[in-house]
A and B are shown apart, each in its own frame.
Chain A
Amino acid sequence: MPTPLRSESDTAYMPTDSALTAEEISFRYSPFQSGRPWTIEQATFSVAPGQVLGIVGPNGSGKSSMLKLLAGLLRPESGTIRLTGRALKDLTALEIAKTLAMVPQEQALVFPFTVAETVLMGRFPHRQTGWWSAEMGVERGEDLVAAHQAMAETDVLDLADRLVSELSGGERQRVMIARALAQAPRILLLDEPTAFLDLNHQVELCALIQRLAKERSLTVVLVSHDLNVASLLCDRLLMVKDGKICAQGTPVETIRPEVLRAVYGCAVVVDAHPQRGVPRVTLGVMQ
């Protein structure tokens, strides 16, 4: 395991120039129907380069919508999202794709693509833009190099000629992260990266995400419903309930019994992780 996540005070992580900021963003589905509630309401936060930000909260609290807003897949009704200082709405999809990669929770695996083919798809935003050779031609050397590197980092090189549909959940998640890395992003968004994974794969994936943040100085924003995973993995947390940010800060600042009672509406026991000292959540005994 790498060195402890955080020994310094949180101020050391405060952004000077942030990778991603959200300024008072609000969003709702079907805005033209009267009386639709906000999915995200007046959310303001920022992520510093190299930082791992976790978005946590109960089901239906707007976590995934928040991630899609950051990815530019949804447009906020009001407020501004900035990607390395530039307003997201002024950027084309292709420009966003060169800076920001996303691994959605659901993966369509209808067709039998190999692992190498899947990872190479991450090179799509960087393809040549001439006409014949560009669109129909096969990948250039630098695409292959980038894919190879991404696969080495996520440890899927041995799977290169396997079909993605035949892989285990943990392997598949690593392949999807490799595809995102092949995109050469500075910011990586992950939607529930550890959901449906066995314990060993959860541990593996957490280690991978931390290593990437450190070695690639990759900014990571992830959604998780697992507070203990988020506590171990993230530098900062956003605690979301009904589309509003209830608390933000380090895990120590946010994972507190009174905050969790307000967000989840139930009693929990919070103590310190025996090895890492970060908060650990245990279900309280019902009385």
Chain B
Amino acid sequence: MPNGQAAPLSSTASGGSLSDSAVQSAVVGWARSGAILTSRRRWLVLIGLLVASVVVMCFCSGFGAAKLSSRDLLAAIGSLLTTGRIDGAVDDTVGAILFQVRLPRVLMGFLVGGTLAIVGATLQALLRNALADPYVLGVSSGAALGVALAMLLGMGTIWVVVPVLPLWGFAGGVTALMLIYRLAQSHGHLPIHSLLLAGVILNAMLTAVIMFITSIMDPARSTGLIMWLMGSLTPPSWVNLIGIALYVTAGTLVLLYQAPALNVLTQGEDTARSLGINTEGLKRRLYVLTALLTGAVVAVSGMIGFIGMVIPHAVRMAIGSDHRLLMPASAFVGGMFLVLSDTVARTAFAPAEIPVGVVTALAGGPVFLYLLLWRKDRMT
């Protein structure tokens, strides 16, 4: 096909192939300039982020009330690998601190942060709004209310056997999300302002109910509840950690499977449907998945805000909008961000600990305001 001249076409068959030099050089150009996502770029980014995540987690495990040197860490990990025992060969305290306190907490932070970020990326595509986030929209509050109710009813202790709290969180989260969608929708559109306004109002109402619940609880229990509500990570038992890891990993994988359809959904519902997507079914699946994940995360760590909004946005600016890379990359970056925030939360005012939700909100809130101001003229 001579360059620059449109070939007469009958569907895809006649117009050249990838061996055609004009097509080939164009495609190579797209790959090089980042105009399209290539397999190579995706794996390079994800492997890079995986390595960075491991480094961040090891680094943050060393910080805390008792400072562990990197030699201690290496020795502890070495003994784990050689003997399979997590306390023994090395100094008992080091092993205990590392494997009973630090590492579970760091891993939990990574799981929670990663889940919040990938849920945020999904909600942003679903609602076609770069400011969407489970916290801002009130999904987290809904989940928190569910969990608080369960705690009020005394169901807080048996969740290892049956994941009661995440299920209550899920019920609260999915209800809040459906409410938001119904409240903000008008004539098949989701205007940004009504969406945010609906989220604010719903948040206020849900928070009021949660405060009511904490006020009628006995003070000994309500203090813990308030700390949890502000968003805090506590070192979980390994059983709980593995349980939650399996749960969010499975949810995340199912969510990742929707990435190509999410790309198309961002183009508008009519376009998505005319490209063969059952948009109602897809939206329903995404509601359930995001609420399931938010419920679980809120149940273990309370309301940690802004990760879901800021991280996908930053990642999108760095690597582009394609959800096949954006979603997993956001998960890694969100995980690292929360691990770092939590390290600040537990060391900045040591021995006192501040809730990690305070750290993420202080870091993320200004970014949210900046986006709102900066994008005001571009989004209506």
Q: Which of A131-150 contact B (CB under 8 A)?
A: 135-139, 141-142, 144-146, 148-149
List 12 interface pairs A-B (beta carbons < 8 Å), by A numbering.
Answer: A72-B273, A93-B276, A93-B278, A101-B274, A112-B320, A125-B276, A136-B324, A142-B18, A148-B16, A149-B9, A149-B16, A217-B10
**With contacts A73-B274, A145-B16 known, is A186 near B263, CB below 8 A?**
no
Interface residues of chain A, those whose CB is within 8 Å of chain B, are 68, 71-73, 92-98, 100-102, 104, 106-108, 110-118, 120-122, 124-125, 127, 135-139, 141-142, 144-146, 148-149, 152-153, 157, 160-161, 165, 183-184, 186, 189, 211, 215-217
Residues of B within 8 A of A135 (CB): 257-260
Chain A residues contacting B263 (CB-CB under 8 Å) are 113, 117, 121
B263-286: CB near A (< 8 Å → 1, else 0) gives 110111011011111100000000
Contact of A148 among B23, B129, B264 (CB under 8 A): B23
A117-B321, A117-B322, A144-B27 known; A108-B11 Cβ under 8 A: no
| B37 CB–A CB distance under 8 Å | yes
The reply to whether A71 and B274 form a contact with Cβ atoms under 8 Å apart is: yes
Q: Which residues on A sit within 8 Å (CB–CB) of B18?
A: 141-142, 144-145
State the CA gap A127–B93 with chains docked (Å).
55
Contacts of A152 in B (CB 8 A): 4, 6-7
Q: Is B370 an interface residue (CB 8 A)?
A: no
- Whether the pair A149, B264 counts as a contact (CB closer than 8 A) is no
State the 5 A-B residue pairs at the shortest beta-carbon distance, nearest first: A97-B276, A161-B35, A94-B276, A141-B18, A108-B268
CB-CB under 8 A for A216 and B36, given A113-B321, A160-B29: no
Asked if B264 and A186 sit within 8 Å, CB to CB, the answer is: no
Residues in B with CB closer than 8 Å to A68 are 270
CB interface residues, B 1-42, toward A, < 8 Å: 4, 6-12, 15-18, 20, 23, 26-27, 29-30, 33-39, 42
Provide the residues of chain A in CB contact with B16, threshold 8 Å.
Answer: 145, 148-149
Q: Which residues of B contact A149 (CB under 8 A)?
A: 7, 9, 12, 15-16
Assembly CA distance A121 to B274 (angstroms): 11
**Separation in Å of the B12 CB from the closest CB of chain A?**
5
State A112–B379 Cα separation when bound (angstroms): 13
From B20, B274, B275, name the one whose CB has the most chain A CB atoms within 10 angstroms: B274
Contact between B42 and A138, CB atoms less than 8 A apart: yes
Q: Which residues of A contact B275 (CB under 8 A)?
A: 97, 121-122, 124-125, 183
Q: Are A112 and B12 in contact (CB under 8 A)?
A: no
Interface of B is mostly: loop
The residue of chain B having its C-beta at the shortest distance from the C-beta of A138 within the complex is B39
Contact status A138-B324, CB under 8 Å? yes
Q: Which A residues touch B33, using CB under 8 A?
A: 160-161
Q: Is the CB of A136 within 8 A of B35?
A: no
Closest residue on chain B to residue A133 by CB atoms: B39
Task: Assess whether B128 is interfacial by the CB under 8 Å rule.
Answer: yes
Complex CA distance for A153 and B128, rounded to whole angstroms: 30
Q: Which residue of B lies closest to A217 (CB)?
A: B10
Instruction: Pick the residue among A117, A145, A148 that contacts B37 (CB under 8 A).
Output: A117
Residues of chain A within 8 A of B37, CB atoms compared: 117, 138
State the Cβ distance, B3 to closest chain A Cβ, in Å. 9
- Of all chain A residues, the one with the shortest Cβ separation from B34 is A161
Determine how close the nearest CB of chain B comes to the CB of A252; give it in whole angstroms: 29
What is the bound-complex CA distance between A122 and B42, given in angstroms?
A: 21
B105 at the interface (CB under 8 A from A): no
Q: Which residue of A lies closest to B275 (CB)?
A: A124
In the complex, the answer to whether B266 meets A184 with C-beta atoms within 8 Å is no
* Cβ of B76 under 8 Å from chain A: no
Minimal beta-carbon separation of A50 from chain B (angstroms): 11
Q: Is the CB of A160 within 8 A of B9?
A: no
Q: Assuming A71-B274, A149-B9, is B36 touching A116 (CB within 8 A)?
A: yes
Q: Are the CB atoms of A184 and B11 closer together than 8 Å?
A: yes
A120 touches B17 (CB 8 A): no
Residues of B with C-beta under 8 A to A136: 256-257, 259-260, 324
Q: A145 with B15: in contact, given A110-B128, A113-B321, A114-B35 (CB under 8 Å)?
A: yes
Complex alpha-carbon distance, A215 and B14, angstroms: 12
- Contact, CB under 8 Å: B266 / A111: yes
Contact A215-B320, Cβ < 8 Å, known A124-B275, A145-B16: no
Q: Is the CB of B10 within 8 A of A216?
A: yes
Query: Please, which residues of chain B bring their CB within 8 A of the CB of A111?
Result: 124-125, 130, 266, 316, 321
Q: How far is the CA of A142 from the CA of B20 in the complex (A)?
A: 12
- Closest-by-CB residue of A relative to B17 is A145
Residues of B within 8 A of A113 (CB): 263, 266, 320-322
**Beyond the given A124-B260, A145-B15, A152-B6, could you list 15 further A-B residue pairs with CB under 8 A, ordered by the A residue number?**
A71-B273, A72-B274, A94-B276, A98-B276, A102-B274, A108-B266, A110-B130, A111-B124, A111-B316, A112-B317, A112-B320, A127-B260, A135-B260, A139-B36, A141-B18
